[in-house]
Structures are given as C-alpha cells and as structure tokens.
Amino acid sequence: MKHIIISKSTELLRVPVDYMMYVSSDGNYSNIITLDGRSRLVCLQLGQVEDIIAEQLGDNGGNFLRLGRSLIINTNYIYLVDVAKQQLILSDCKGSWHELTASREVLIKLKTYIESLKLTGNE
C-alpha cells in the first residue's frame, strides 16, 4: 500500500493514500483528514502538501484534486456535489462522512470533471 510521508524537524507523518480523504488549509498550516475521521495539523501550507502528493505519487496522484484555495480532496470519496447548496460530501459509504463547503464555481468545475470521467470510461 502506498503512503504519503510528511517529515518535518522532529515529526514524521505516514498516511496510507487510500485512507486520506481530504486536506484543508488553516492559515499557514494544513489539516489532513483520514477515513477514520481523525485530523492531523501539519506545519505546511496547502500548496506544499499538494507538491508532496505530486512528488510522492507521480501519476498515481490523480485521485487528489485541488479545489480552490482551501481544499485538496481524494476524488475516490466524492459522494455528493450540490452546486445550489455549495455542498460537497465525501464518504466511503461505510460510516465515514464529511460535509464540506466550496464555492459554486469550484463545484461546477468538479461536477463537470466527474461527468467527463464517466463519459471517457475512466470512472
């Protein structure tokens, strides 16, 4: 199983890729939220986490998508995109459920992106 490894001074965080649901920005920090609902604050900006994901996963990092300025999501867990309510729900359909908010523009792009995957057979 692949892992994302984030190492800073005295700390090393190792998260299985399939268990990483999303990353949210918190000022100059980022919260990594896993399938079990746990949250880990890391001393990295969202862009730095995005770079780590791309660097460590390469082409396999395609499941992670940056949404606007405050979110990186694992697209495998998209359950609902509601543009009208500006709501995004990530779920594994086994008990893990996260309701997030995002701008209408971001959600419209996300919905279009998912629909395009379905049409190309990549879903």
pLDDT in tens, 42-86: 999 999 999 999 999 987 778 999 999 999 999 999 999 999 999
pTM of the model: 0.92
pLDDT at residue 117, rounded to an integer: 83
**120: which residues sit within 8 A by CB, 6+ positions away?**
none
Query: Where in the sequence is the domain holding 33, given as residue range(s)?
Result: 3-120
CATH code, domain carrying 102: 2.40.50.1020
* 50 close to 66: Cβ distance less than 8 angstroms: yes
Pairing of strands 78-82, 71-74: unpaired
Number of domains in the chain: 1
Identity of the residue numbered 39: S
What's residue 5's pLDDT? Answer: 96
pLDDT at 9: 87
Query: Is residue 70 within 8 Å of residue 59, measured between CB atoms?
Result: no
